[in-house]
Every structure is written in C-alpha cells, then in structure tokens.
Amino acid sequence: MDYYTIINQPEKLIIPLVLGWLIDLIVGDPYWFPHPIRLFGNIISFADKKINRNGFRKFKGFVVVLFLLMSTFAAFYGIIYLSSVSILAYYIVATIMVYYGLANRCLIYEARKVDKELAENGLDAGRKRLSYIVGRETKTLNENQIRTAVLETLSENLSDGVIAPMFYYAIGGVPLMFTYKMVNTLDSMIGYKNDKYRQFGWFAARTDDVLNFIPARITAFLMVLVTFSYRGLVFVFKYGNKHASPNSGYPESALAGILNCRFGGPNTYHGVLVNKPFIGDNARAVTSKDINRACWINILVSVAFTLLILGLVLILKNL
C-alpha cells in the first residue's frame, strides 16, 4: 500500500479494513484455526533457544529483531503483490490479512471468560483463566484484583491489538501491519527486564515502545471521545506518563477515569515484585458491569478509528 494507491484507489485500503474488522468482531480467533501470530511465536521461540546464550547477547538481540522485521515486511509484501494479479484475489487476501491482524473479539471474549469463571467457579478458576491473558502472577490475587487486571488488559491491548495494527495498516498496508505485529510479539516474548532477556530483548522492547507511542495516545483520546468523559481526559493528562511503560499508562488512565476506579499498585511478574504507580484514587470494588462497559468501549473505539481512517482517506483524495 503506497500513497498513490491510498489517494487514487482508497477502496483498496478501506474495503479490506472494514471487512476484516467485521470478520474479527463476528468470528474472533478460534483456537483450532491456523494463525500467522502463532508462526511468529514459534520463530521467536526458536531464535531464543538457539541464539540467546553465551556472549554478545545485546548485539544478537538487535540482529534477530532486525532480521525478523525485514523478513516479515518482505514476506507480506510478496503475498499482497502476488494477490494483486486479480482484484478479487487482492480483496480476499487483504481482508483475511486484516482479520488476522486484529484481536478485539478475542480480547473481549477472554475478558468476559475470566469474569464468568470468577463468578461461577470461584477465585481459583478466575485466577487460572486470568493467567492466560496477563503476564503478572495470579495465584494470590483476590476478586477485585482479578477484575482490575482484566480492565487494565482490556485498555492496554485495545491499543496493542486493535488500534496500533489499524494505524500501521492505514499508513503502510498489510506489510507494515504485520511488521508491527512481529514487533509486538517479540516484545511480549523476549521484552522482559530480567536476567534472561534484559540484553537479548532490549531492542525488541525499545522498538515496541517507539511503534506504540502514537497509537497508545490515539487510543486514550478515542476512549475519552466515545464516552464523553471529562474525568477520563483529566486522568490521561494526570496519570498517562506515570506508568513505567511510556505507552500503557495512557489507555489505562483513560479507562480508570471513565470508570472512576483505581488501577496499578504492586504486582508480581516472573517472581519479581513490581510497584506500579496507582492510577486514580477511588479504590472502589470493580464489578462485572465495569468489565462489560469496557468491552463496549473497545468496540466503539475500533468503530471510531475505522471511521476516522475512512474520513482522512476521503479528505486526502479530494485535496
């Protein structure tokens, strides 16, 4: 996807985006269905086992990330190029790729599944289900901490799993969308500040921070916009930069303000206690209604961003 195509043939950008978004919303990501992100994970795991050892780990991590990003862009550019021999083939392939690049239905499903397990089967079931979608240790979390973790994950992954892929698709088509997805997968697997990954994963983590800088802030302001929440806007400016991550704090702050609750605080990650700053000061109990509302916010934000992309493309076309 290039500037000429976006301006002169905007339907090539918009149709796959809208159809892919709809398929993700309706179908989600069935566990039995093949998915390129699983392939990304297998490749990263192989590189980790074979290369993340002995000396020069920082340099090795840099080379691995650079090679995987270049390879990913080239592979998906080739897929789109080959599909362009037929306009129908292009629309089918591009739509499927956009569908693969988004993860909102899966995110919402998992959030509601945690809440359902907690309500119907108790703390242990809720903790176990939560462990599938968060990096923190869950074995000692209470009911309120579980639901708070779900809300934090919903807001953060709205940026990482929905808005950021759409953002990079809008400016660089499927190849750039999946280059971003590779960065995000690398960060989720090797971007930790522990003894094993502090050196090998440093470049993956920094690259993910850079690529998520704009999408995280777009996400936060769209969350405030679709809910007409002044308090959410105040929280974005007050707490957004307090988070250890340069990006996660923005959508989390927006949601905490919208719901008037408190996020953050101490949590254990891979055996290490991390004292995250609190976002908000209303330490009220979080409920199932809050999770349901956050899920609807995710949907509304993705709709709003799709319409924003459509509007910008049409404006550019008519300049």
Per-residue pLDDT reduced to its tens digit, 220-249: 999 999 999 999 999 999 999 988 789 999
Residue 270 pLDDT: 67
Per-residue pLDDT reduced to its tens digit, 134-152: 888 888 899 999 999 999 9
User: What is the band of 5 on the pLDDT scale with cuts at 50, 70, 90?
Assistant: low
Asked if 268 and 247 touch (Cβ cutoff 8 Å), the reply is no
Residue 17 pLDDT: 96
Residue 44 pLDDT: 97
Contacts 24+ apart (CB under 8 A), 304-312: 304/222, 304/225, 304/226, 305/162, 305/163, 305/166, 305/167, 305/218, 305/222, 306/17, 306/18, 306/21, 306/166, 308/222, 309/13, 309/14, 309/17, 309/166, 309/170, 310/14, 312/170
Q: How do beta strands 263-269 and 272-279 pair?
A: antiparallel
Residue range 13-41: mean pLDDT, rounded: 91
Residue 1 pLDDT: 54
Residue 172 pLDDT: 92
Residue 7 pLDDT: 57
Residue range 19-28: mean pLDDT, rounded: 93
In the three-class reduction of DSSP (H, G, I as helix; E, B as strand; rest coil), residue 132 is classed as: coil
Q: Does residue 6 have a pLDDT over 70?
A: no
Asked if 220 and 226 touch (Cβ cutoff 8 Å), the reply is no
Asked if 111 and 150 touch (Cβ cutoff 8 Å), the reply is yes
pTM for the full predicted model: 0.94
